[in-house]
Chain A
Amino acid sequence: MPDAITIRDASKYFGAHAAVDGLSLDVPAGSIYGFLGRNGAGKTTTLRMITGILQPDAGSVSVLGGSRPEDVRARTGYLPEENGLYKDMRVLDMVSYFGQLRGLGRREANARARTRLAAAGLEANLNAKCNTLSKGMGQKAQVIGTLLHDPELVVLDEPFSGLDPVNAEVVLSLMKQFRREGRTVIFSTHVVEHAEQICDSVVIIDRGQRKRAGTLAEVKAGANRTVSIDYEGDAGEWRELPGVESADDSGRHAELRLRPDADTQDLLKALVERVRLRHFDTGEASLKQVFLEAVGADHEAA
């Protein structure tokens, strides 16, 4: 199956500033793909190029079998980070309108809007004006409107922004459902844990450039091994321990990043002499670690 999205050496400039700089990536069809990066890294600009809102100044972006993004709008759904409602419009009319913008006929859009709003518990609000909806209800209406045309490619910019854990879980479930339906979902976030929970593949972007990309396993493989410990006592300077490159110390819990040549047995012996160990676990790097390594080193260098 061809990739859902193919980006080759894409760049986008705003004046002298390169928001995206020579970015290349492939998003497999039918997967959930995460765009990770700090604020201002270029995630939103990339998503806007994928949805056709912006055109790259260099390179190419093709979606859904090699088409230009603006040619496949009827097959793409996009929910931006900042999304709003037509306050004076009726809920049903607004949702139907968004569906019609994506190519649905008026009657079809109205019927789908009516059904899906009712399924989402908004049946009583169909004829109400959008400015009467609560925030949560408004977000539901927005999502329904964005996806009314059942797009093959779903693009979400910071979908977890401002959500409580319960609603965040709802969004995660929705994404999994899309994947089961064979749709491709891409979303941007700077909350790495969400991406680790659900993504098949990720790309880490910093300063408009790709830092790491691939499946979770591929991305983590290049990262340092870690040892996770629970302890009591004063461990002193972690870097003095054999094989330890750096550490995240929370007080009684620490994540130790090891150098590639580190011997975990030597480390265990050294730890036993310093602290009272409750838990000692070797494992692969977390996505957060990978993320921090990818963007943190550049940040420190800067």
Chain B
Amino acid sequence: MKLHDVLLVARRDYVAYVGRRRFWISLLITPAIFLAFMLVPGLISQFHGARHYAVVDHSGWLLQAVEQRIEGQDFAKLLDLAAQGSAASATKLPATWSALAPQAAKLDAASRATLGQALASGAPAPTDPAAQMIWRQRDALLHWYASLTPDAAARIDRSLYVARFQRVDTPAASLQGATAQGKLDGYFTFPKDPLAADAAYTYASRNLTDTDLRDWYAGAVSAVVQARRASRAGLSSDEARLLAQAVSFQGQLVTEHGHKAVTAAEKVAQWLPVGYVYLLFISIMQIAQLLMMSTIEEKSNRIAEMLLAAIEPSDIMAGKTLGVAGVGVTLVGSWLVIILGLLATVGAALSMGGVAAQILAGISAWNIVWFLVYFVLGFLLYAAVMGAVGASVNNIREAQPYMTPVMLFLMLPLILMVPVAQDPTALWARVLSYVPPLTPFMMMSRSAAPPPLADYIATTALLAVTVVIALVAAGKVFRRGLLNAGAPPKLRELMAWARSR
């Protein structure tokens, strides 16, 4: 193999791809899709506007209690905004609330939540001096909230319930018609005895697949009903809260050296293998196919024979593989930088910035090294196959029958990804790790466990040998296939090419 010739071909192919407009489009389109996933749901909800609903309260008391609860939650959010004291919060809040910033900042989040409920319900005044100063503004705050429109609330903060949901007083006889005509998104009906075990609550809507309104209101009503049930049973609110508290197990990671509590970063890290496998899949799928298409292009443009006369077919193939690998590294590396940047910037604005930090903290050097090893070997293996396919056919359509088994091997790891991540030490997972076309994916799926060092070494060695065999065989198919202008070879003929001198 002549390194000069390999690098020459690699450089040409790399520049040919990176210099094309469609490369930059594909480089930007994946992060753009990612950005859309982040922004579109929020934009759609803005466009959707507030949902309108009505309530038929046969109990005579539940509606008022729920309204107070919802108001209390909004008051708590407004106090949180005031407490932030940042320039962004200050410009959003009206003077009524921004003036309370010093007092709100003195309270912790739990106190602000309690104060918010108290402001809404008129519960006994708090004892804390800062809370008392806020309490004195209660009438003004209630008056302001009562006149707040959904649009005005959305300008302050879209997470305020008054921005998203608006109750409309509607006569019972008009409810069905108003809902059918779209004037109401739905209406709720409370039973006469909401606290009974068999109390029947209903939600009527033209679109029952939209659960946003229903789930939100059900949560608010449940909280009120549970509190009332607890009170009726003679329990204090603290006792009721304790009763309702579910049991959760704190994760402890067991290693050879003992066990320790799992950090948030480590929890993220346990699911990073899914990300590795996706990245491997996308990289190999998109990039290795470039090799096939570039080879088909050279055949159809009648360049192939001129190349074969100048340099060895194995050097052509190695150069094209290297060039395409360079394109892949550029593409995937750029995606990673852009996506992590988006998470840190746009994501921070959407309260997702911590995700980027957790992902970065969860990535270990060990996993990076093995990811790169398996990426390179996996890419070479599939590139060899796809290069051979490209050399054997005259156009994309002829390549389809050959691509079916290749795609099967590529899709199988995606299907097994989650089961392997859930049970990385399973015997079947270990066995499949030794099937060379599956090795990169299976080993990265198991990396959270992590697999024994012997598995890393043995699977890598087996994969490397397979790659060498594949590249040699593909080189022979490449040599024969590039000169073949007739019908594509049958599988038996292809095997004969691979075994030929």
Interaction A to B: yes
- Chain A interface (Cβ < 8 Å from any Cβ of B): 48, 51-55, 57, 70, 73, 76, 78-80, 82-89, 97-98, 100-102, 146
B8 CB contacts on chain A under 8 angstroms: 97, 100-101
- Can you list 21 pairs linking A and B with CB atoms under 8 Å apart? A51-B309, A52-B309, A53-B309, A53-B483, A73-B309, A78-B306, A78-B309, A78-B310, A79-B306, A80-B302, A80-B306, A80-B309, A83-B302, A84-B303, A85-B301, A85-B303, A89-B16, A97-B8, A98-B310, A101-B310, A146-B306
Q: Does B307 contact A (CB under 8 A)?
A: yes
Whole-angstrom CA separation of A100 from B2 in the bound complex: 13
Whole-angstrom CA separation of A204 from B155 in the bound complex: 89
Are B302 and A82 in contact (CB-based, < 8 A)?
A: yes
Known: A73-B310, A88-B20, A101-B5. A53 touches B301 (CB 8 A): no
Q: Digit string of B293-327 for contact with A (CB within 8 Å is 1, else 0)?
A: 00000000111011111111000000000000000
B183 CB contacts on chain A under 8 angstroms: none
A30 to chain B, nearest CB (A): 21
Q: Digit string of B182-221 for contact with A (CB within 8 Å is 1, else 0)?
A: 0000000000000000000000000000000000000000
Whole-angstrom CA separation of A89 from B257 in the bound complex: 59
A78 CB contacts on chain B under 8 angstroms: 305-306, 309-310
Whole-angstrom CA separation of A202 from B255 in the bound complex: 80
A48 CB contacts on chain B under 8 angstroms: 483
Are B312 and A70 in contact (CB-based, < 8 A)?
A: yes
A73 CB contacts on chain B under 8 angstroms: 309-311
Whole-angstrom CA separation of A54 from B500 in the bound complex: 12
Q: Does B58 contact A (CB under 8 A)?
A: no
Q: Digit string of B412-435 for contact with A (CB within 8 Å is 1, else 0)?
A: 000000000000000000000000
A70 CB contacts on chain B under 8 angstroms: 312
Most interface-central of B20, B303, B308, B485 (chain A CB within 10 A): B303
Are B303 and A86 in contact (CB-based, < 8 A)?
A: yes
Are A86 and B16 in contact (CB-based, < 8 A)?
A: yes
Known: A53-B483, A89-B16, A100-B8. A84 touches B311 (CB 8 A): no
A88 CB contacts on chain B under 8 angstroms: 16, 19-20
Chain B, interface size: which category? 20 to 34
Q: Digit string of B208-236 for contact with A (CB within 8 Å is 1, else 0)?
A: 00000000000000000000000000000
A20 to chain B, nearest CB (A): 14
A57 CB contacts on chain B under 8 angstroms: 501
B16 CB contacts on chain A under 8 angstroms: 86, 88-89
Are A84 and B302 in contact (CB-based, < 8 A)?
A: yes
A4 to chain B, nearest CB (A): 16
Known interface pairs A51-B309, A89-B16; 15 further A-B residue pairs with C-beta atoms within 8 A, sorted by A's residue number: A54-B483, A78-B305, A80-B305, A80-B309, A84-B301, A84-B302, A85-B301, A87-B301, A88-B16, A88-B19, A100-B8, A101-B8, A101-B311, A102-B310, A146-B306
Secondary structure of the A side of the interface? loop
Q: Does B12 contact A (CB under 8 A)?
A: yes
- Chain B interface (Cβ < 8 Å from any Cβ of A): 5, 8, 12, 16, 19-20, 301-303, 305-312, 483, 485, 501
A84 CB contacts on chain B under 8 angstroms: 301-303, 306
Whole-angstrom CA separation of A76 from B309 in the bound complex: 9
Task: List the 4 shortest-distance A-B pairs measured between CB atoms, nearest first.
Answer: A84-B302, A101-B310, A78-B309, A84-B301
Most interface-central of A76, A83, A102 (chain B CB within 10 A): A83
A101 CB contacts on chain B under 8 angstroms: 5, 8, 307, 310-311
Whole-angstrom CA separation of A85 from B298 in the bound complex: 9
Whole-angstrom CA separation of A54 from B308 in the bound complex: 9
Whole-angstrom CA separation of A84 from B305 in the bound complex: 9
Whole-angstrom CA separation of A85 from B306 in the bound complex: 10
Task: Using CB atoms, name the residue of chain A closest to B312.
Answer: A70
B312 CB contacts on chain A under 8 angstroms: 70
B306 CB contacts on chain A under 8 angstroms: 78-80, 83-84, 98, 146
A146 CB contacts on chain B under 8 angstroms: 306
Task: Using CB atoms, name the residue of chain B closest to A100.
Answer: B8
Whole-angstrom CA separation of A191 from B312 in the bound complex: 32
B305 CB contacts on chain A under 8 angstroms: 53, 78, 80, 82-83
Whole-angstrom CA separation of A79 from B307 in the bound complex: 11
B303 CB contacts on chain A under 8 angstroms: 83-86
A71 to chain B, nearest CB (A): 11
B20 CB contacts on chain A under 8 angstroms: 88
B485 CB contacts on chain A under 8 angstroms: 82
A147 to chain B, nearest CB (A): 12
Are A53 and B308 in contact (CB-based, < 8 A)?
A: yes
Whole-angstrom CA separation of A43 from B19 in the bound complex: 39
Whole-angstrom CA separation of A51 from B19 in the bound complex: 32
Are B12 and A97 in contact (CB-based, < 8 A)?
A: yes
Whole-angstrom CA separation of A87 from B297 in the bound complex: 10
B390 to chain A, nearest CB (A): 16
B26 to chain A, nearest CB (A): 16
Task: Using CB atoms, name the residue of chain A closest to B493.
Answer: A15
A54 CB contacts on chain B under 8 angstroms: 483
Whole-angstrom CA separation of A51 from B483 in the bound complex: 14
Most interface-central of A80, A83, A101 (chain B CB within 10 A): A101
B20 to chain A, nearest CB (A): 7
B309 CB contacts on chain A under 8 angstroms: 51-53, 73, 76, 78, 80
A82 CB contacts on chain B under 8 angstroms: 302, 305, 485
